[in-house]
């Protein structure tokens, strides 16, 4: 990459829609004056320094210039331009490099107007270790910094566990740690049930065990047929020689390999290493199914539901998905897609660069590969159907909630608040968020209570602080309420007193259009007899069989769980802190020296000045400071 450039405009709120349009276009025009015609990545930034959109271009100047003509833009893009107050640019050597940088920035910044990949978790692998004379086979997740050969990725831990079970039965490889291996004096239970060759106690020598490891590696790289034929010949030979026990062991090993092959729901014949990526869209949503084919076997699949505009084309969605999905993974040699890409050459070059070897992207139209993609498409369609049904059920609950609480419409965002403390100590507030798709866990927030004037245990004052901080910040960052972060309902775990606190906070902040309510436990704190408090209405209860009641209980319980978990975490950290942490000049290294010398913080507090001076790294001045900290009267 070469240089980075920034163009900034004053972040003044617009007085009208026209002024907003002019300000957005003006910021873009200002950036064009010094913009080169080279490949690169651009960021559109709001007045609140929020990144609205990240894009890439073969020619930055031409691409960005398109945004200055509002008449050519759709409503969504025009709204983004209206909010733009600054732009940032990074030039790159090639368009492929720009694509990779764009994908990384989208994942890191999650801009509102981009297509976003959600739930991009790492995948587990099978590792055959290479740092021991008798290799171990194990499930592995994370950076590949241990010696050995990695096989995968697998779609889930369950898929890895199934394969490991087969490897144990078919190849009798050890799964124990090196420490356990060295300490064994007799075979473990796994050997007794014919799951391990017991190399720890000489059950298999180095050569014999090495052959088993080689067979396992061949199996994992797709050469299972050759291994099965070899084992079948050995089984027949053992049977002919009346070695029936040996023949039975070989038979069980063959059956184990056959079992995992029989479970393949996608016939991957003639495809050794590939990812199948199939997209189905309906109802303004999309599901992308990814199947992992490695060694000719199906290593499982995973469904993704990227966030995108309702009018996004399938080609745009799948292209954005590929860039983000492979930004932290090594692409396979072949990627089979259900839809064509808008820029296949650029994507191929980018993924080839990411993998460090050739990567091929295909959209098969006939033959076995097309059948494989067809099966992946069926899975995507079924998964999206299930999700839409679940969303419809959630939407129905939200609509019924709107009826019960007399809201103008079904809330798109519900925020639930709860506090947690023990006698006022380590007080925290928790906020959870729910919407049409269920709990929105990446929107959860915790609030450490900062006001030292609050009396211990004053729940009302703590709730006042939490609500004030949350909504004062939102008013500051989004005064025109253009973003999606404003709730359609605020629900507080508490009674009429908590409701009054919320009313006072909203009145002080000038917020009059955010509905709020409180939920309190009923008599004897019985679940099902909760009372609901709304402004201007008497407290009321919902029927114990009303699904809305169960929904609200779940929200309240989730907020309670989150607040308590946050409180416990804070309390545990405080417990772990040492009095030494409070002394100026005692950092990590000196703290370690003191604890190693005296054995505990309590012993340090009781040590004499001369003893403290004897510790490595502790000067006379610091020893005096430490001694004075624990003996202020002296």
Could you read off the pLDDT of 164-184 as tens digits, one per residue?
887 888 888 888 888 889 888
Q: How confident is the model at residue 572, as a pLDDT?
A: 59
For the stretch 366-386, pLDDT in tens is 888 998 999 999 999 988 888
Which tokens hold the place of 399?
Answer: 């609509």
Single residue among 232, 262, 292 that ends a domain in this structure: 262
**What percent of the chain shows pLDDT beyond 90?**
33
- Whether the CB-CB separation of 281 and 313 falls below 8 Å is answered with no
**Residue 121 in this model has a pLDDT that exceeds 90:** no
**What percent of the chain shows pLDDT beyond 70?**
89
Which range, 1-10, 284-293, 453-462, has the best average confidence (pLDDT)? Answer: 284-293
Would residue 528 count as lying in a domain?
yes
The band of 598, judged by pLDDT with boundaries at 50, 70 and 90, is confident
**Residue 472 in this model has a pLDDT that exceeds 50:** yes
Tabulate helix, strand, coil % of the chain (nearest 5). 50, 20, 35
Q: Residue range 81-104: average pLDDT?
A: 91
Q: How confident is the model at residue 388, as a pLDDT?
A: 78
- Per-residue DSSP letter, 546: -
- Whether the CB-CB separation of 321 and 341 falls below 8 Å is answered with no
Closest CA to 243 of 235, 251, 255, 232: 235
**Residue 7 in this model has a pLDDT that exceeds 50:** no
Which residue range forms the structural domain that includes residue 588? Answer: 579-630
User: Does 558 lie in the same domain as 463?
Assistant: yes
Sign of the C-alpha dihedral computed for residues 211, 212, 218 and 224 taken in this order: positive
- Per-residue DSSP letter, 479: T
The band of 434, judged by pLDDT with boundaries at 50, 70 and 90, is very high
User: Does 90 lie in the same domain as 27?
Assistant: yes
User: Does 567 lie in the same domain as 427?
Assistant: yes
Q: Residue range 398-415: average pLDDT?
A: 92
Distance CA 187, CA 507 (A): 73
CA angle 78, 80, 84 (to 5 degrees): 115
Burial track 303-312 (b if 16+ CB lie within 10 A, e otherwise): bbbbbbbeeb
Q: How confident is the model at residue 528, as a pLDDT?
A: 63
Distance CA 105, CA 92 (A): 14
Q: How confident is the model at residue 488, as a pLDDT?
A: 93
Residue with tokens 């359609």: 488
Would residue 396 count as lying in a domain?
no
Would residue 622 count as lying in a domain?
yes
User: Does 418 lie in the same domain as 540?
Assistant: yes
370 or 252, higher pLDDT: 370
Q: How confident is the model at residue 575, as a pLDDT?
A: 46
The band of 267, judged by pLDDT with boundaries at 50, 70 and 90, is low
Q: What length is written for the chain? A: 634
Burial track 150-165 (b if 16+ CB lie within 10 A, e otherwise): ebbbbbbeebbebbbe
The full DSSP string for 383-432 is HHHHHHHHHHHHHHHHHHHHHHTT-SS--S-EEEEEEEEETTEEEEEEEE
- Per-residue DSSP letter, 616: T
Distance CA 611, CA 33 (A): 69
Single residue among 535, 557, 574 that ends a domain in this structure: 574
Would residue 447 count as lying in a domain?
yes
- Distances in Å between the alpha carbon of 526 and those of 78, 146, 240, 418, 550? 52, 54, 73, 18, 13
Tally of CB atoms within 10 A around 415: 28
Would residue 314 count as lying in a domain?
yes
For the stretch 529-543, pLDDT in tens is 789 999 999 999 998
Q: In 3-state terms, what secondary structure has residue 212?
A: helix
* The total number of structural domains that make up the chain: 5
Would residue 391 count as lying in a domain?
no
481 or 295, higher pLDDT: 295
265 CB burial (10 A radius; 0-12, 13-18, 19+): exposed
- Whether the CB-CB separation of 436 and 392 falls below 8 Å is answered with no
Q: Residue range 101-121: average pLDDT?
A: 85
User: Does 89 lie in the same domain as 141?
Assistant: no
Closest CA to 128 of 152, 110, 102: 152
User: Does 599 lie in the same domain as 565?
Assistant: no
Least confident of 5-9, 104-108, 542-546, 585-589: 5-9
Q: What is the CATH number of the domain that holds 467?
A: 3.30.420.340
Omega before residue 153 within 30° of 0, cis = yes
pTM of the model as a whole = 0.62
User: Does 221 lie in the same domain as 303?
Assistant: no
For the stretch 40-63, pLDDT in tens is 999 999 988 899 999 999 999 999
User: Does 537 lie in the same domain as 438?
Assistant: yes
Q: How confident is the model at residue 269, as a pLDDT?
A: 58
Would residue 171 count as lying in a domain?
yes
Axis crossing angle, helix 314-325 with helix 344-355, rounded to the nearest 10: 10
Residue with tokens 């507080």: 492
**Residue 14 in this model has a pLDDT that exceeds 60:** no
Q: What is the CATH number of the domain that holds 78?
A: 3.40.1440.10
**Residue 5 in this model has a pLDDT that exceeds 50:** no
Least confident of 323-327, 375-379, 562-566: 562-566
Which tokens hold the place of 124?
Answer: 């587990």
Which tokens hold the place of 571?
Answer: 């309390």
Mean pLDDT of the chain: 84
Which tokens hold the place of 276?
Answer: 């199948």
Least confident of 208-222, 226-240, 614-628: 226-240
Q: What is the CATH number of the domain that holds 594?
A: 1.10.150.20
Contacts of 581-590 with C-beta under 8 Å, sequence gap 24+, read 582/629, 583/625, 583/626, 583/629, 584/625, 585/622, 585/625, 586/622, 586/626, 589/617, 590/617, 590/618, 590/622
Q: How confident is the model at residue 614, as a pLDDT?
A: 85
**Residue 13 in this model has a pLDDT that exceeds 90:** no
User: Does 424 lie in the same domain as 569?
Assistant: yes
Would residue 390 count as lying in a domain?
no
Distance CA 18, CA 82 (A): 9
User: Does 342 lie in the same domain as 424?
Assistant: no
Edge to edge, what strands does the sheet with 297-304 contain?
A: 297-304, 285-294, 273-282, 334-337, 360-362
Closest CA to 434 of 418, 414, 417, 407: 414
**Residue 592 in this model has a pLDDT that exceeds 60:** yes
**Residue 3 in this model has a pLDDT that exceeds 60:** no
User: Does 256 lie in the same domain as 319?
Assistant: no
Residue with tokens 């990725």: 153
Q: Looking only at Cα atoms, what is the longest distance across the chain?
A: 95
Q: How confident is the model at residue 16, as a pLDDT?
A: 44
Distance CA 306, CA 116 (A): 5
Distance CA 112, CA 80 (A): 9
What lies within 8 Å, CB to CB, of 193 at 6+ separation is none
User: Does 621 lie in the same domain as 495?
Assistant: no
Least confident of 80-94, 334-348, 400-414, 447-461: 447-461
């Amino acid at each position: 990459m070469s240089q980075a450039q920034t163009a900034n405009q004053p972040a003044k709120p617009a007085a009208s829609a026209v002024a907003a349009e002019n300000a957005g276009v003006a910021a873009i025009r200002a950036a064009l004056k010094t913009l080169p015609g080279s490949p690169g990545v651009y960021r559109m930034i709001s007045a609140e320094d929020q990144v609205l959109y990240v894009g890439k271009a073969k020619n930055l100047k031409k691409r960005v210039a398109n945004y200055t003509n509002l008449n050519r833009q759709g409503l969504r893009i025009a709204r983004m331009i209206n909010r733009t107050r600054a732009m940032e640019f990074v030039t790159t050597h090639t368009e492929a490099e720009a694509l990779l940088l764009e994908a990384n920035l989208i994942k890191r910044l999650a801009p509102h107007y981009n297509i976003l990949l959600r739930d991009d978790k790492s995948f587990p692998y099978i590792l055959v270790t290479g740092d021991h004379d008798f290799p171990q086979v194990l499930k592995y997740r994370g950076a590949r910094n241990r010696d050995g050969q990695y096989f995968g990725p697998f779609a889930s831990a369950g898929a890895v566990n199934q394969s490991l079970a087969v490897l144990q039965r078919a190849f009798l490889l050890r799964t124990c740690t090196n420490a356990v291996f060295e300490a064994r004096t007799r075979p473990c239970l796994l050997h007794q049930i014919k799951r391990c060759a017991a190399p720890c106690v000489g059950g298999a020598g180095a050569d014999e065990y090495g052959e088993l490891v080689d067979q396992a590696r061949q199996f994992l790289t797709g050469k299972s047929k050759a291994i099965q034929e070899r084992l079948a010949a050995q089984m027949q030979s053992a049977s002919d020689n009346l070695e029936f026990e040996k023949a039975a062991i070989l038979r069980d090993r063959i059956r184990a390999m056959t079992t995992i092959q029989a479970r393949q729901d996608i016939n991957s014949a003639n495809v050794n290493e590939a990812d199948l990526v199939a997209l189905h869209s309906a109802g303004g949503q999309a599901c992308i199914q990814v199947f992992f084919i490695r060694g000719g076997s199906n290593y499982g699949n995973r469904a993704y539901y990227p966030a995108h505009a309702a009018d996004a084309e399938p080609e745009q969605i799948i292209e954005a998905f590929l860039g983000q999905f492979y930004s932290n993974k090594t692409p396979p040699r072949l990627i089979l897609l259900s839809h064509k890409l808008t820029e296949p050459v650029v994507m191929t070059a980018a993924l080839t660069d990411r993998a460090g070897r050739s990567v091929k992207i295909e959209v098969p139209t006939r033959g076995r590969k097309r059948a494989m993609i067809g099966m992946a498409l069926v899975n995507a369609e079924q998964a999206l159907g299930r999700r839409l049904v679940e969303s419809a059920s959630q939407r129905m609950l939200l609509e019924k909630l709107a009826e019960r609480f007399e809201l103008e419409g079904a809330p798109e965002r519900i925020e639930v608040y709860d506090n947690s403390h023990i006698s006022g100590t380590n007080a925290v507030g928790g906020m959870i968020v729910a919407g049409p798709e269920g709990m929105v866990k990446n929107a959860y927030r915790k609030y450490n209570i900062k006001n030292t004037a609050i009396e211990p245990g004053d729940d009302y004052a703590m709730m006042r602080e939490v609500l004030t901080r949350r909504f004062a910040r939102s008013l500051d960052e989004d005064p025109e309420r253009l973003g999606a972060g404003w709730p359609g309902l605020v629900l507080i775990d508490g009674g009429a007193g908590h409701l009054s606190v919320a009313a006072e906070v909203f009145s002080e902040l000038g917020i009059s259009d955010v509905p709020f309510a409180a939920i309190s436990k009923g008599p004897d704190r019985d679940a099902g007899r909760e009372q609901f408090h709304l402004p201007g209405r008497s407290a009321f209860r919902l029927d114990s069989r009303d699904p809305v009641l169960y929904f609200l209980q779940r929200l309240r319980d989730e907020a309670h769980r989150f607040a308590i978990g946050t409180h416990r975490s804070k309390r545990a950290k405080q417990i772990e802190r040492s009095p030494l942490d409070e002394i100026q000049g005692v950092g990590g290294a000196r703290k370690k020296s003191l604890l190693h010398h005296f054995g505990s913080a309590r012993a340090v507090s009781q040590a004499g000045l001369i003893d403290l001076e004897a510790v490595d790294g502790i000067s006379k001045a610091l020893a005096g400071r430490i001694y004075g900290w624990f003996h202020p009267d002296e």
